[in-house]
Amino acid sequence: MQQVAKLSAGVLLYRFVGAEVEVLIAHPGGPFWARKDAGAWSVPKGEYADGEDPWVAAQREFAEELGSPPPAGPRIDLAPVRQAGGKVVTVFAVQADFDPAGAVSNTFSIELPKGSGRLVEFPEIDRVAWVSVATARTKLLSGQRPLLDQLMAAPELAGYGEGAPGDE
């Protein structure tokens, strides 16, 4: 029996700051990710069912992870990428602003310590930040970094730079 790849869809907000591009990325919550930074951040996204419209799913997942629907703006459909675990991620880049301080994430519970019977609740996303594309290249999960190449190659971004790591 052939295993079907998990599908995930998300919204990558971008904005222009001077002559450079910044993107909005999210850091996962919970104890596994607590001390990880480089290679730990993600585009706000989530899984969806085969046959579901990826754009509809991306908007829903953005709202679940950040507490509000994605802001309206010009959209660039990026080509899907496959992450190391096989998950296929479809991302839509949207030019819009968003205040990270207003982000309110859903939560999840895990048993801690394992075997204790005690459930501890964590936010799905514990941090959201605007970063230069150069910084995002180090912070994003490696399987999502090709999305930045696609974004920067889009005609809408011609003439804009990636900034330097740590420019935020």
The predicted structure's pLDDT at residue 164: 80
CA 40 to chain centre: 10
pLDDT (0 to 100) of residue 85: 86
Strands (E) across 29-150 are located at 45-48, 75-77, 81-82, 88-95, 107-111, 119-123, 125-132
Whether the model clears a pTM of 0.85, i.e. scores above it, the answer is yes
- CATH fold of 7-157 reads Nucleoside Triphosphate Pyrophosphohydrolase (3.90.79)
Q: ∠158-163-168 over CA atoms, to 5°?
A: 135
Q: What is the pLDDT tens value at each position of the chain, 168 positions in all?
A: 556 789 999 999 999 999 999 999 999 988 888 888 888 899 999 999 999 999 999 999 999 999 999 999 999 999 999 988 889 999 999 999 999 999 998 888 988 888 898 998 988 899 999 999 999 999 999 999 999 999 999 999 998 999 887 755
**Pairing between strand 7-17 and 45-48?**
antiparallel
For residue 163, count CB atoms less than 10 angstroms from its CB and return exposed for 0-12, middle for 13-18, buried for 19 or more.
buried
